[in-house]
């Protein structure tokens, strides 16, 4: 692997104009394809294998011409203090609104609250239901404006009018996530490298990769069903991994130049070594993302495929475009001291990143350098601290992350609805008004689809089902049945006594389904439970059931890959255990903030509740891939030092000396990119951004910087043990670049053993 990538980088450096032109041509081609492509489809709500989806499909079949997921507006009227909506003036304003909207475009029906008995007991609140013949995404601006204008006229009449449902759903406030992430990344890179060019190159290549990926996803949107959500995830991941992968290569290039290599050879060595780590780190991310297909949710599968393609583009750019750009400006990414020419450094041995040491090259052997030389890097000092106290550090790490993970045991999954929106939105105000006027369960009614195709008396069968449901504890009311034209299917609406996010509502849905055999036997009718509330419950259960198989597939494949990379059994086991610690802590933090509400106000979360159903699987997949980035890059440097003759403890120190600062910078960049998405107004986006940022923090700064070196120090040489038969069977990929070291020795012995033992500034 290292030798092949070495040749690729040599070619890219020599043919730099060709490489850059090819990437620009690819960007132009996919951009043209995106411009001429059809509009991206909406996110599919289809979830095979769950009862709610089967009921939706039955509704589409038995009620032709209407869509089960058609747009709906629930217009809520609240009378002023001391008044009633049934007063003459208020009733006139409500009827006027209903009549105006009923004649609007795309409207299937408009039901007055006075005809549907949709008035609260104290007559302070009422609601009208407006249904449309199409989905919310297909509603025209004319339809939305007609409803909005009618609402404003009703408000002018003195009523408080709010609109819930999907028809006028408020777009979440757009944050500055991408811009903030790039700005923070630029600052981190500038501090890390001390060079504008070195900081700018990873940003440039990351933006190039994201541009190509987003344009490709848009161009293939109508063909492969990629929605806008796929592009948003791809952009978030593309920025993070694109910057990181280029950062790894540029960092190694500076290191090789500091050892005395010429620019072309330094670029080739950087890609052959750090590039090998990038390849395998990228493969683990791709495995994790493609593994989302195991869950069985089409939307997640498409998100995984689109994001995996973005990661592959980032890897290819790091291996080809980065050495090509280094060929145009070979010295620009170096520290200023090295760019000033050889005269300033003649007679002095270059240290890492060009910071010179005492010309004698001596070290006192205690982690400090002679007077007048640079201070010991923080990564070296920290690694020595951990290797001297591995048991204490390991116990503290495991106990600390374990304590943070405890709240995840109370994880409740669901899909946040209007209750999670800010109170500045009309949907949230409509939700609160309905809860006050009709009870909390009114915002989450259950839809029961009754199939009486095989019943002798369809009307009596439906009545029997309704009566049995009405007698179930936890149900407030059951609406009159609504039959289809063939009279073989009816729909009834069941209002629970508790809110849609309540655990008691989940228990109620389970109870209704458990009673089904007895009810069907007594009435001769079959029924299924659906609606938004039931759908969210079913999705949560499906995600929970899929989590363990998904973990098994992803961790199993990644274990095999890491075993090939590190030629060890215990190192991949350690990587998997560390990942579980970081993910558990991240899930615990999510539950603490977004479910239990501790510190929620600090993050702008106005209402807490269940965690988005897809979040745990989503978090596991993405964080596993990103965690392996740091695992491969950090541990490959430790193994590189070990196979070059260093003792296990010293190899850990050397690996940290070469990679701690880069891994820390990469983690900060990822945290900035993910955390930037918390600036948006959507609660679900905040949850995703917070979860990913906290997981990266725990994994990079706790697991990789403390857990990993402590375990390696305790295992010693046993960490690199591999049974002889397995050693012969596994392919050798040489991710450490051992073959390159033999072929291209460091000029003037600049990386001899004494150099490994010295403490230099990173």
pLDDT computed for residue 235 by the predictor: 82
Residue 724 to residues 564, 568, 569, 720, 731: CA-CA distances in angstroms?
14, 11, 12, 12, 13
Which pLDDT band, with edges at 50, 70 and 90, does 448 fall under?
very high
Cα–Cα distance, 624 to 630 (Å, whole number) = 10
Q: Could you tell me the pLDDT band of residue 439, with boundaries at 50, 70 and 90?
A: confident
User: Mean pLDDT over residues 16-42, rounded?
Assistant: 85
What percent of the chain stands above pLDDT 90? Answer: 17
Number of DSSP helices (H) and strands (E) in the chain, helices first: 29, 11
Q: What is the mean pLDDT of the chain?
A: 81
Please state, for a pLDDT cut of 70, what percent of the chain lies above it.
85
CB 314 within 8 Å of CB 238: yes
Does the pLDDT of residue 166 top 60, yes or no? Answer: yes
Contacts of 53 (CB under 8 A, 6+ apart): 46, 47, 530, 535, 538
Query: Does the predicted model carry a pTM greater than 0.85?
Result: no
pLDDT at position 378 = 80
What's the whole-number mean pLDDT along residues 477-502?
86
Residue 61: HSE in the Cβ half-sphere, 13 Å Cα cutoff: 11
Residue 198: HSE in the Cβ half-sphere, 13 Å Cα cutoff: 26
How long is the chain?
Answer: 762
pLDDT of 224 over the 50 cut: yes
Decide if pLDDT at 49 tops 80. no
pLDDT attached to residue 750: 45
- Residue 343: the pLDDT is 42
Residue 84 has pLDDT above 60, yes or no: yes
Q: Residue 107's beta-bridge partner residues?
A: 132
pLDDT given at position 690: 86
Question: Between residues 401 and 361, which one has the greater pLDDT?
Answer: 401
Q: What is the mean pLDDT of residues 223-247?
A: 79
Instruction: Give the dihedral of Cα atoms 542, 547, 552, 555; nearest 10 deg.
Output: 140
Sequence-distant (≥ 6) Cβ neighbours of residue 507 within 8 angstroms: 474
- Comparing 638 with 369, the larger pLDDT belongs to 638
- What is the token pair recorded at 196? 């504008």
Give residue-wise pLDDT tens across range 94-113: 999 988 888 887 888 888 88
pLDDT band per the 50, 70, 90 thresholds, residue 285: confident
Residue 108: the pLDDT is 82
Q: Are 1 and 740 in contact (CB under 8 A)?
A: no
- The angle formed by the CA atoms of residues 684, 689 and 695, to the nearest 5 degrees, is 125
pLDDT at 354: 40
């Amino acid at each position: 692997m290292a030798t092949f990538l070495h040749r690729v980088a040599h070619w890219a450096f020599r043919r730099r104009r060709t490489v850059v032109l090819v990437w620009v041509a690819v960007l132009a081609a996919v951009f043209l394809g995106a411009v001429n492509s059809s509009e991206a489809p909406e996110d599919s709500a289809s979830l095979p294998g769950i009862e709610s989806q089967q009921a939706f499909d039955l509704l589409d079949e038995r009620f032709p011409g209407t869509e089960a997921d058609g747009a709906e507006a629930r217009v809520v009227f609240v009378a002023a203090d001391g008044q009633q909506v049934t007063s003459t003036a208020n009733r006139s304003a409500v009827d006027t609104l209903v009549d105006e909207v009923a004649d609007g475009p795309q409207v299937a029906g408009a039901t007055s609250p006075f005809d549907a008995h949709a008035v609260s007991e104290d007559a302070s609140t009422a609601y009208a239901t407006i249904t449309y013949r199409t989905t919310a995404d297909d509603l025209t601006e004319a339809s939305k404006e007609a409803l909005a204008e009618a609402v404003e006229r009703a408000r002018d009449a003195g009523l408080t009018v709010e609109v819930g449902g999907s028809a006028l759903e408020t777009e979440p406030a757009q944050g500055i996530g991408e811009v903030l992430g790039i700005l923070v990344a630029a600052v981190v890179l500038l501090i890390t490298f001390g060079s504008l060019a070195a900081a700018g190159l990873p940003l440039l290549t990351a933006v190039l990769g994201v541009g190509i990926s987003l344009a490709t996803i848009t161009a293939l949107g109508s063909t492969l069903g990629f929605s806008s959500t796929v592009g948003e995830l791809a952009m978030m991941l593309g920025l993070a991994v694109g910057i990181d992968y280029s950062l790894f290569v540029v960092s190694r290039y500076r290191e090789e130049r500091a050892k005395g290599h010429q620019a072309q050879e330094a670029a080739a060595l950087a890609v052959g070594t750090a590039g090998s780590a990038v390849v395998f780190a990228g493969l683990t991310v791709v495995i994790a993302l493609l593994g989302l297909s195991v869950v069985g949710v089409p939307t997640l599968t498409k998100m995984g495929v689109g994001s995996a393609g973005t990661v592959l583009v980032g890897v290819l750019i790091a291996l080809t475009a980065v050495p090509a750009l280094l060929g145009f400006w070979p010295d620009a990414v170096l520290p200023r001291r090295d760019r000033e020419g050889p005269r300033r450094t003649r007679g002095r041995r270059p240290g890492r990143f060009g910071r010179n040491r005492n010309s004698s090259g001596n070290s006192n052997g205690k982690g400090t350098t002679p007077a007048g030389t640079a201070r010991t890097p923080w990564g070296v000092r920290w690694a020595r601290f951990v290797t001297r106290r591995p048991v204490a550090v390991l116990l503290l790490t495991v106990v600390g992350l374990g304590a943070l993970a405890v709240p995840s045991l109370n994880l409740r999954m669901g899909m946040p609805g209007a209750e999670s929106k800010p109170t500045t939105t009309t949907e949230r105000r409509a939700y609160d008004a309905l809860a006050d006027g009709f009870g909390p369960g009114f915002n989450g009614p259950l839809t029961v689809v009754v199939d009486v195709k095989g019943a002798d008396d369809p009307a009596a069968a439906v009545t029997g089902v309704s009566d049995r449901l009405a007698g179930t504890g936890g149900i407030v009311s059951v609406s009159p049945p609504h039959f289809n034209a063939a009279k073989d299917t009816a729909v009834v609406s069941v209002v629970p006594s508790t809110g849609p996010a309540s655990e008691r509502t989940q228990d109620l849905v389970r109870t209704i389904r458990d009673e089904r055999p007895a009810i069907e036997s007594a009435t001769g009718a079959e029924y299924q439970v659906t609606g938004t509330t039931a759908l969210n419950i079913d999705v949560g259960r499906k995600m929970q059931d899929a989590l363990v198989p998904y973990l098994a597939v992803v961790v199993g494949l990644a274990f095999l890959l890491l075993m090939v990379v590190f030629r060890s059994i215990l190192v991949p086991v350690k990587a998997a255990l560390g990942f579980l610690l970081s993910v558990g802590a991240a899930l615990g933090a999510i539950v603490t903030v977004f479910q239990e509400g501790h510190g929620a106000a600090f993050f702008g979360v106005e209402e807490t509740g269940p965690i988005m159903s897809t979040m745990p699987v989503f978090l596991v997949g993405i964080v596993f891939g990103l965690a392996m980035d740091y695992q491969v890059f950090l541990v490959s440097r430790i193994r590189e030092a070990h196979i070059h003759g260093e003792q296990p403890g010293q190899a850990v120190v050397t690996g940290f000396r070469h990679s701690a600062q880069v891994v820390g910078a990469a983690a900060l960049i990822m945290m900035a990119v993910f955390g930037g998405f918390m600036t948006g107004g959507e609660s679900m986006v905040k949850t995703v951004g917070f979860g990913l940022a906290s997981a990266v923090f725990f994994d990079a700064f706790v697991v990789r910087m403390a857990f990993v070196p402590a375990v390696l120090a305790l295992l010693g040489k046993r960490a690199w043990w591999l049974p002889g038969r397995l050693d012969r069977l596994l392919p050798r990929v040489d991710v450490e670049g051992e073959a390159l070291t033999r072929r291209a020795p460091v000029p003037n012995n600049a990386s001899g053993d004494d150099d490994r033992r010295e403490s230099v500034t990173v």
